[in-house]
Structures are given as structure tokens and as C-alpha cells.
Chains A and B, each alone.
Chain A
Amino acid sequence: MLKQIEGSHAVAEAVALCRPEVICAYPISPQTHIVEALGERVKSGALAPCEFINVESEFAAMSVAIGASAAGARSYTATASQGLLFMVEAVYNAAGLGLPVVMTVANRAIGAPINIWNDHSDSMSQRDCGWIQLFAETNQEAIDLHIQAFRLAEELSLPAMVCMDGFILTHAYERLELPSQEQVDRYLPPFEPRQVLDPAQPVTIGAMVGPEAFTEVRYLAHAKQLQALELVPELARDFKAAFGRDSGGLVRPYRMEDAEIAVIALGSVLGTIKDTVDEMRADGVKIGALGITTFRPFPLREVRDALARVKLYVVVEKSLAIGIGGIVATDVRMALAGRLHLRGYTVIAGLGGRPITKASLRRALGEAAAGRLERLHFLDLDRAVVDQVLAREKEVRRSGPIAEAVLRNVGVVGAKIR
């Protein structure tokens, strides 16, 4: 059914269609509308049997989900930013225990300085925790990925995170195709746990494991993630057969057939990138884009194959590994082992919600094509402001709080758009 709907509410509807049994809710922008909408549905009785639990923190949210999942209930929560960081210990725990919790991360920057706007720092901080990470490009894909995520997580008995850009997707109203309950029921079977707390068959879950077996337990976690590399494309094919839409999968190439330049990215920025590709193609530049939908496990082979014929690549990423540079770029480089001569650029963009415009992208991509771009480039960085702060820090010992100094130099408070 087509519906004009906010991204968050659409995700709530998709999750509701997946018949969750325990939902843990804790408010944090920009995720809050999702759990609000789910709370209303549970209260109305439409989701029965389903327990909606207003917890006291994100750490509790994930912990309740762990308990519920271990007791055999399909469990869901949503978070973002500081909330994801607050629950980190439990996030790792859910993965270590192999509990197929599904969580939406409405991607948002991490403080300090506190910032509620979008980037990928939150999800990226958890890239190695053992969760499957899927990144939605559009709200339609966000809906579809949630439905796929429950099946993927439960088949593998691994938790899965569906990442969608905060505000850009969560708060955007658009026309979306919402599947019917019958369609989802046919696609997503009831949860059959691999391990369950059942008085009829007592098991111990979460025993202490020493050096004699820890490596094997960790290897199995890795091996299970790698199984997702086979399963994700299968589930996407099944999804297309059932719902008639291309959604999910490992990677998504765009105009890559004869591309000499590849732009690689995750999430909603791919829309802007595709528009930029179209414009540059019209100008005769052989350029294409590669969207990475499944970031964990990382599809090394698919990325390598997609880049087999390009002459240079640019990774545009909304996160920064402070002290080295790109996170996605590092993984892309892994995929290109043996082709280390291939020219690659990392463009850090959109941090803390800074808009990524076609104009800025075109400029950076043009400079990359001409070999003039720094290998690690910060899109639209106000160099003068940074230099002023650095100079002041040299002169004055008590130079004061960093963010406040930057704001003073910028002279404005709020988003900076060129």
C-alpha cells in the first residue's frame, strides 16, 4: 500500500509487521518517533501479544532485549548516537551470546561537542562488535531492510543493526510502499531460537570461557558473519520475488559498467552522489557510484569486483577515525589488496549534519580526477577557522574550550551551508 509517511513512522510500521514480541523504548533524537509510534500500536492492542517496556536507559534497553531474546521472544529496540554508546557493553554482549535482536540506529554524531545531527560515527564505533550492519539509502529501503533484518538475524542467530540517516531519513515525509501483513508473514517465519531459557530443558547461557576456547568462540562469531555474505543476497532475491522490489543486498553499483572513477558511500548521501554522477556523466566523465548496503560483514569480494576496472576511487564517508582518517576507506583498501597502486581518496563529509551538496562533491571529485585532492580530504572544511584556533592555542596557554573557540571564529551558531 502506498502511503505518504514519515521515515520513522514507516519503520515503526515495518517493525510492527514483523510481529515483535518485546520492544524496549528509550527516547533519543532522532530515533524517538519510531518507538513512540510502536508504543501507540502496542497500547492499541494491534500488536498483541507484545510487551512495550519503557526502560530507564539504553543500557537497560539492550539488556531487556537480551533477556527477552534469550527467553525466545522476537526483540527490538532503536537508538542513536550517545544512546548507542551508552549501551555498548550490552551491544557486544548480545553479539557474543548470539541473540538475534534487531535494532534501528538513527545515525547521529557523537559528542563532545554535543550534536544531534546526522553522521555515521555512532554505527561506525560499533562496526567490530559482532552485529550485522545494514545501511539504508532511502526510507523505502529502511522499511525493507528491517523486514530482511529479522529474517537474517534469526536465521544466523546474530543481532542485526539497521542504520538509517538521522533526520535526513527518519524525519523525511515521502510516499512509500508499505507491505501487507500477509506478505510479511509469508517472508518472515516465526522466531525459532537456537538457544532458549526453557524450564523443560535447562541450559546455561553466558558461561565464563577461558583461553582454552575463547579463540574458537570468537572464530565462530566471525564465521557466522561470513555466512551472512551468502545469505544477504539470497534474502534480497527472495524479497524481490515476494515484494517486487530491489532492496538490500551487499553492494549496489550505479553506472559502474564503464566507470573509471568510483565514488563509494553508505546511506542516504548516495542520492546526492548519484545526481552528481549523472551531471558529471553528462559532461563526459566516466564516473559511477558504489553503495555499500551491508557494511558488516564487509563484502570484500563484491567491492573488489565492482572496482575491478576503475582507475581511481573516492570514498565519501560520514565518519572520521581520528588519528588515521577514513573508516570505510580502510575497509575498501582491504578489498583492494594486491591493487595498492590504485589511486584512492577519502573524503570526510557531512560530519555533525553538515549538508553534502552536489557543488562541493563535484569540486572534490573533479580535483580527485585531476590528481589535486589531498588523500584525506575534509569536505567544506573552513581552514581559516581551524588555523585561527591552532594559532591561538600556540599563543595562549588557557585558550579555552575548543568548540566555543571555533564557534566564536565562525561567528554564527547553526548549520553552515555553502
Chain B
Amino acid sequence: MHQPIKFYQTGTHTVGNRLLKPEQRTVQSDRSRSNSLNCGHRACQGCGEALGARYAIDAAMSAARRQLVAANATGCLEVFSTPYPESSWQIPWIHSLFGNAAAVATGMAAAMKVKNRGDVRVVAQGGDGGTTDIGFGCLSGMFERNDDVLYICYDNEAYMNTGVQRSSATPPAARTATTAAVGDAPGNVFGQGKDLPAIAMAHGIPYVATATVADLHDLEDKVAKAIAIRGAKYIHIFVPCPLGWGAAAHDTIRLARLAKETGLFPVFEAEQGEVTGILKIRRKLPVEEYLKPQRRFAHLFAPTPRPEIIARIQAIADRNIRRYGLLDEGAR
């Protein structure tokens, strides 16, 4: 459990905050962080999900004064963190099935209530497949009952554990193993998929937020806020997947930042179904900046450039910017 603290991100926007006042620093930069997801796990180099889970669960542990239990859906996070008989988890952790993490967490929260352990906070976590597809029924049930659970979705936009197949979180035009980059309309089709943060908001639950692994302060703040709220909470974290996206391992943080800065992934928070906070775009960038470093979008640039498809993706980003007010007036 005890390991030397390594300040990998020192000097970047994300963790380089040693110049801040101690109370403004991130949990992750704190010597007393819990290292909930310990080193030695089997995630790929540059795995956004490992990073997201580590940030989120350490922040949750801090906010919950280390009284935390977690349920985990089947998927990359589960597989890479618990190759029997080893476990990277330094917290009480259960994996049951692919589609039931939210319901298992509901049971855990109910047990804590009857055991008079209201101080113990309950987190459920899963990837986008386990959340937006197979676990959707249980998740919606947990939301609707307003069970005292924080559900965290690590969204890498496809089924990565099984070898990059399309999920209902896969973006249009993306190539996956089941949305081939062939034909007139290559990759995943337009006009499909689920906007899960919006669906979560439609349940009227106390708290919904989106975040990326590119903004640690924002992510940690949202997790801490969620942990303090009683009832159902949902945080949707954008986590690039170098292997599935065909991106460089060192570009994980950059791609997460580009997703936000292009407007493709709006970063916001909402309470009781109303948007209450927006992370503004600092410097708006065209979607090509985000698409180009990823081989899953390579067919949009070569051998035949597909500007009309890129324009449709740009239109999605522009709509997000309008809908959520991601740009300050006059900033564009």
C-alpha cells in the first residue's frame, strides 16, 4: 500500500500545482492520497481509464474520509485491475457482472443504511459499454429510485476489452471492429448513440457532471461534490484509449483536452436536471485537430479526404457549443 509518490504531471496544467496554496492543490498531488488503484495493474500504456479511475477514486476516498466501497462492471478496468490473485484495489471492491454495477451498488448502499454506516459512501463504476448499453436498465433504475450511489462512467467510446467494438457511446464516423471504415459513409453512422449525461439529467437526479482526464482540478472537484450529496449521482469521464483509438500513448491527456476545446465533449455539471456549471473552451479549435491524431478517423483524411463528413462532425461540436454556451461571447 505504501509507495513513493511520483509527481509525473508536475509542470503541466493538470497536476503541476505545487505553487498553489495547499488547500487548492489536487488530491492527486497530495502525499496522503490513498492510491486506491495501486500501481502494478495491467492497463495499456497511456490508458485514460486507469488515469480517470485513479483520479476519481482517490478524490472520492478523500471526500469520503476513506469510508468508501465500490462496485465495478466487467470491462477493461475490472480486468486490468484484478488479475487473480492480485488486485490493484486498496479499497473494498466488488465485481459482479457486466450489466449490474449500478444495482449491486444499490444493494451496498441499502446495506450501509441498515447497518447504520451512513458514513460509508458507495461508488459504482463501469466503461461506456457497461453503462450506456448492457448496464443501462440497472443504471436507470438506480437513478429513478434516487439511490445513494455515485456512478462513474469511464467513456472511451467503444468496447475496448473485447477488441474495440462499437457501443452506443461510439461517435459518428469512428472506425471500430464492428463499424468498418469502408463504403460511402465509413465508420459509425451519424444520428445514433446515446447522450447519457442528458439521460441522467432527465431522471432529475441531484447531480450529473461530465469531466475529462485533462482537467484534474475540475474532475476532483466534481467527485468531491458528488460524494457530499445524498441520492443518485452520475459523473461521465472522457477517457481516451490509445489502443482502441489508434493514438499515441503520450497523447491521452492532449486528446482529452482537444475533445473539450473543440466542443465535441462538453464539460459541465447539472443539479436536479438543470445545468449549473460549464467549463468554458479556452481557445476554440477545429475538430480536425482532435480527429487527425487518431487512426479511428484516418479514413476521413486519406486516401480520399472527406471534408463533408468532417463538416458534419464540426456541426456536432458547434451545436454543443451553442447548446451549453461553451464559448464566452466575443471569444470566438
Contact = CB atoms under 8 A, between A and B. Distances in A.
B115 A73 contact: yes
Given A68-B108, A71-B115, A199 B78 contact: no
A56 B96 CA distance: 18
Contacts of B107: 22, 24, 53, 63-71, 73, 75
Interface of A: 21-22, 24, 49-51, 53-57, 59-60, 63-73, 75, 89-90, 93, 97, 197-199, 201-210, 213
A73 B114 contact: yes
A199 B69 contact: yes
A207 B137 CA distance: 24
A393 B157 CA distance: 49
B120 interface: yes
Nearest to A214: B84
Contact of B138 (A56, A93, A206): A56
B105 interface: yes
Contact of B87 (A54, A197, A204): A204
Contact of B104 (A53, A66, A72): A66
A71 B69 contact: yes
B243 interface: no
A55 B139 CA distance: 11
Given A53-B147, A199-B120, 17 more contacts: A22-B107, A50-B114, A54-B145, A55-B106, A59-B137, A64-B103, A67-B71, A67-B105, A67-B106, A89-B99, A90-B97, A93-B97, A202-B90, A202-B91, A203-B93, A205-B95, A210-B83
B284 interface: no
A218 to B, nearest CB: 14
B66 A68 contact: no
B112 interface: yes
A1 to B, nearest CB: 27
B104 A208 contact: no
B202 interface: no
A71 B112 contact: yes
B145 A70 contact: no
Of all A-B residue pairs in the complex, the 3 with the closest CB atoms, nearest first, are: A67-B107, A71-B111, A56-B141
B108 A56 contact: no
Most buried by B among A22, A64, A70: A64
7 contacts: A22-B111, A57-B138, A59-B100, A68-B107, A71-B69, A73-B110, A202-B90
A64 B68 CA distance: 18
B144 to A, nearest CB: 7
Contact of B100 (A53, A73, A90, A207): A90
B94 A51 contact: no
Contact of A63 (B93, B97, B116, B147): B97
B111 A21 contact: yes
A206 B141 contact: no
A159 to B, nearest CB: 13
A199 B86 CA distance: 19
Contact of A57 (B90, B137, B145): B137
Nearest to B68: A199
Given A60-B137, A67-B71, A72 B95 contact: no
B92 A199 contact: yes
Contacts of A22: 107, 110-111, 114
B202 to A, nearest CB: 16
A98 B70 CA distance: 18
B95 A206 contact: yes
Contacts of B83: 207-208, 210
A65 B100 CA distance: 11
Contacts of A21: 110-111, 114-115
A135 to B, nearest CB: 27
Contacts of A69: 107, 111
Nearest to B95: A206
A42 B82 CA distance: 38
A89 B92 CA distance: 23
Interface in B100-140: 100, 103-116, 120, 137-138, 140
Contacts of B108: 67-68, 70-71, 197
B279 interface: no
Contacts of B71: 67
A105 B291 CA distance: 53
Contacts of A24: 107
Given A21-B111, A71-B111, A56 B140 contact: yes
B79 A208 contact: yes
B116 A49 contact: yes
A56 B114 contact: no
Interface string B60-82: 00000011110110000011001
Contact of A49 (B79, B96, B114, B141): B114
A397 B144 CA distance: 48
A197 B92 contact: yes
B138 A68 contact: no
A65 B94 CA distance: 13
Contact of B144 (A56, A93, A197): A56
A63 B111 contact: no
Nearest to A195: B94
Given A56-B137, A66-B107, A73-B114, A202 B92 contact: yes
Nearest to A24: B107
B85 interface: yes
B324 interface: no
A268 B111 CA distance: 35
A21 B95 CA distance: 22
A68 B110 contact: yes
Contacts of A55: 103, 106, 141
A203 B92 contact: yes
B101 to A, nearest CB: 8
